[in-house]
């Protein structure tokens, strides 16, 4: 299942002679208006270099910027325009998925856990096969960076467990009340869709209005995501990032946010 753009493909290779700011560790990011435009070889590219430490990643995500690069490349920082965003109120649960979610919810051997196996989730995402992709953008440096961000309380995993075994999951970044999707994996049918539905349910229950999906794909649009101008998205993120982060956990009662209650068996 493809969630974000960088699940779907490796970063584009740098070509041409466009100017690109090269950051030293601790340097601020350039203004978003300086990002490479849509007609360039790498639309949304903001800068190269810098560091993958927690303060830099917090500053990046707070400014709608995220790292994405392949092994052997410098750190590359991106902020696409427009931005693909899932407003959680618009998330679509199709009939087949609704039935899978109901079976999962009602089976005592199945559960959603949050942050119980973050490192295992990111390792599984890094090793997941992607159509048309021979490698992964989630290299050792990226994995270490997001584990550190998790330990600092700004990255979370939502996990699908069946009979005590981790079978699917996703991880995301949170700054205040802003949520940024990163990657997902599954070893079973519908596993990652269940994890994503659980994330949406959690966001609805906690009043978190949107999940950043980064770039447009048909699959994301099918789920209810839509493009938003980067400037508008940046304003939303600035507002949400300044707010307190809610408790990050999943309560089974949250399933009522995406599923009909058990009192309506014919739905």
Cβ-contact 209, 241 below 8 angstroms? no
**Can you name the residues that pair with 227 across neighbouring β-strands?**
84
- Helix (H), strand (E) at residue 156: strand 155-162
**Residue 8 confidence (pLDDT):** 46
**Residue 129 confidence (pLDDT):** 63
**Residue 216 confidence (pLDDT):** 84
Phi then psi for 133, rounded to 5 degrees?
-130, 125
Identify the three-state secondary structure at position 241: helix
| Average pLDDT per consecutive 10 residues, the chain (267 residues; last block may be shorter) | 47 65 97 95 96 98 96 94 96 95 97 98 86 66 97 98 98 98 95 96 97 87 94 98 95 96 53
Six-digit token pair at 86? Answer: 């899932």
Identify the three-state secondary structure at position 243: coil
CA distance 228 to 233: 6
Give the global pTM: 0.90
**Can you name the residues that pair with 99 across neighbouring β-strands?**
none
Six-digit token pair at 88? Answer: 């959680």
**Residue 137 confidence (pLDDT):** 80
**Residue 12 confidence (pLDDT):** 59
**Residue 11 confidence (pLDDT):** 62
**Residue 160 confidence (pLDDT):** 98
């Amino acid at each position: 299942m493809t969630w974000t753009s960088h699940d779907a493909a490796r970063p584009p290779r740098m070509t041409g002679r466009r100017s690109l700011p090269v950051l030293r560790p601790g340097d601020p990011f350039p203004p978003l208006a300086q990002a490479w435009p849509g007609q360039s070889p790498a639309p949304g590219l903001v800068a190269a270099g810098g560091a993958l430490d927690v303060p830099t990643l917090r500053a990046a995500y707070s400014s709608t910027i995220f790292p994405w690069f392949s092994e052997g490349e410098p750190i590359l920082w991106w902020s696409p325009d427009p931005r693909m965003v899932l407003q959680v109120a618009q998330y679509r649960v199709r009939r087949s998925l609704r039935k899978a979610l109901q079976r999962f919810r009602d089976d005592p051997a199945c559960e959603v856990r949050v942050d119980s196996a973050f490192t295992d989730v990111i390792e599984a995402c890094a090793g997941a096969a992607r159509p048309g992709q021979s490698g992964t953008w989630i290299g050792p440096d990226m994995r270490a960076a997001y584990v550190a961000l998790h330990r600092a309380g700004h990255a979370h995993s939502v996990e699908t467990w069946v009979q005590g075994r981790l079978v699917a999951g996703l991880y995301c970044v949170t700054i205040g009340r802003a949520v940024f999707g990163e990657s997902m994996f599954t070893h079973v049918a519908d596993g990652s869709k269940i994890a994503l539905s659980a994330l949406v349910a959690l966001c609805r229950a906690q009043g978190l209005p949107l999940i950043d999906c980064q770039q447009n794909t048909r699959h994301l649009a099918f789920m209810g995501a839509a493009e938003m101008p980067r400037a508008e998205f940046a304003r939303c993120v600035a507002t949400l990032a300044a707010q307190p982060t809610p408790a990050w956990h999943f309560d089974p009662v949250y399933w009522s946010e995406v599923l009909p209650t058990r009192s309506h068996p014919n739905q």
